[in-house]
């Protein structure tokens, strides 16, 4: 039997993660994750993201790609590497000097929920046909991703209702910090060097579009102005349309080629299609 990996073509995850709007959704998830003081301290104190911005973004997208489209062996190898890194890394809570372990379940759960919630919200807002029922199914499927990084799937929200309850519970812990400001500035101007300004100038509207796609309570915590709601939606739709205009074969090969290899491994039925969602209970 051909190895379809952890998810396979008959999942919402397989279809949604191939959408061009996922790039903006990924940036939006980083904006949201930065609001957790302990989680963002772990990132700032252990990552070279300012020195290697493209590498940081590609490594993050690479794990999402391989966990979605890789073989089971590839997924487990990548997940074991992530768990190993989390086990050995620590940070210091700037508020009280306590030690932060990056494999703390509460931090892993926050990163997971912020990520998948923004994936679903941004891609849906950009025009992907994700119904409420399919969104519930997506969150339930993503419990498998949570298990890969060491979480108990039973402790992870598996529906829109459970996700909303989780964010309501965690919101009192969230705030704007110096680390959150650092990440927000980075996500607006990620490239450095004398020749980086034209790249940053072209990228900034995308970074700010991702910021503007955050839920209102998250934008209020960050405290920076966003694009108006209608302009944000129009921008997301336009970027998704531009991405869909790129030939599908070329899109499947970028940035890491996991989807391209999955289609070659499984055959034409593995090509993602939003139309397929209607057969998944949407």
3-state secondary structure the chain: CCCCCCCCCCCHHHHHCCCCCHHHHHHHHHHHHCCCHHHHHHHHHHCCCCCCHHHHHHHHHHHHHHHHHCCHHHHHHHHHHHHHHHHHCEEECCCCCCEEECCCHHHHHHHHHHHHHHHHHHHHHCCCCCCHHHHHHHHHHCHHHHHHCCCCHHHCCCCHHHHHHHHHHHHHHCCCCHHHHHHHHHHHCCCCCCCCHHHHHHHHHHHHHHHHCCCHHHHHHHCCCCCCHHHHHHHHHHHHHHHHCCCHHHHHCCCCCHHHHHHHHHCHHHCCCHHHHHHHCC
The confidence score (pLDDT) of residue 119 equals: 98
Position 133 confidence tier, pLDDT thresholds 50, 70, 90: very high
The confidence score (pLDDT) of residue 116 equals: 98
The confidence score (pLDDT) of residue 161 equals: 98
| Arithmetic mean of pLDDT over the chain | 91
pTM for the whole structure: 0.93
The residue that leads in pLDDT, 105 or 55, is 105
Is residue 155 scored above 80 in pLDDT? yes
Is residue 3 scored above 60 in pLDDT? yes
Position 254 confidence tier, pLDDT thresholds 50, 70, 90: confident
């Amino acid at each position: 039997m051909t190895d379809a990996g952890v998810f396979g073509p008959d999942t919402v995850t397989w279809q949604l993660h191939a959408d061009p709007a996922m790039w903006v959704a990924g940036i939006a998830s980083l904006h949201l994750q930065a609001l957790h003081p302990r989680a963002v301290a772990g990132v700032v104190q252990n990552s070279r993201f300012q020195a290697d911005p493209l590498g940081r973004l590609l490594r993050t997208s690479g794990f999402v790609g391989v966990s979605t489209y890789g073989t089971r062996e590839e997924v487990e190898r990548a997940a074991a590497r992530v768990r190993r890194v989390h086990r050995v890394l620590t940070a210091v809570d700037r508020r009280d000097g306590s030690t932060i372990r990056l494999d703390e379940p509460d931090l892993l759960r926050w990163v997971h929920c912020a990520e998948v919630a923004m994936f679903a919200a941004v891609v849906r807002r950009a025009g992907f046909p994700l119904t409420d029922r399919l969104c519930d199914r997506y969150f339930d499927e993503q419990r498998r991703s949570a298990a890969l990084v060491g979480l108990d799937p039973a402790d992870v929200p598996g529906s829109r209702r459970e996700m909303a309850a989780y964010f309501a519970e965690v919101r009192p812990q969230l705030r704007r910090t110096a680390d959150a400001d650092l990440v927000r500035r980075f996500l607006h101007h990620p490239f450095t060097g004398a020749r980086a300004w034209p790249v940053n100038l072209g990228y900034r509207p995308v970074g700010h579009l991702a910021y503007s796609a955050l839920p209102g309570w998250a934008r209020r915590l960050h405290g920076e102005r966003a694009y108006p709601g209608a302009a944000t939606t129009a921008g997301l739709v336009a970027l998704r349309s531009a991405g869909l205009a790129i030939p599908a074969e070329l899109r499947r090969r970028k940035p890491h080629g996991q989807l391209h290899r999955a289609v070659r491994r499984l055959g034409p039925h593995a090509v993602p299609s939003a139309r397929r969602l209607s057969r998944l209970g949407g």
